[in-house]
Amino acid sequence: MQKAGSSADLGWLLDDLIGRVPHSQHAVVLSADGLLMASSAGMTQDDGEHLAAVAAGIQSLAKGAGTRFGGGAVRQTIVEMQSAFLLVSVAGKGACLAVLSDDEADVGLIAYEMAMLVTSMGHHLSTPTRSESAEQGRTLT
């Protein structure tokens, strides 16, 4: 399980989500710019970082379409592949939650469980912008 910084305790939430939702395989919390914040057990560092980057790219493309064509803010993006689903949702300020499942998963159930996790833990899932985090780490002399 990969965990980073103040998000070190998110891993167990992701593991719980994966454990409760049949056919879900992996979950990651990522910053809006694609940096991995936490991942469920069983993911390698490389796979977690790759999934985070993919999810951020997909969410960014959806945001661009919403802006360009008047669809508004993106709440969730669902990608259906031949043998898998990828769901990405906004998870607090500057963060996203992504869940990868097999093709037998109940996408509605996954979406519901993701929404419940974000609703209950959204304040823990938020990430400061890079300039905010740099200023927080800076000491005054």
Domains and CATH numbers, the chain: 5-136 (3.30.450.30)
Q: What is the pTM of this model?
A: 0.84
Over residues 111-129, mean pLDDT: 81
d(CA 59, CA 76): 8
For residue 136, pLDDT over 60 is answered with no
Over residues 16-28, mean pLDDT: 97
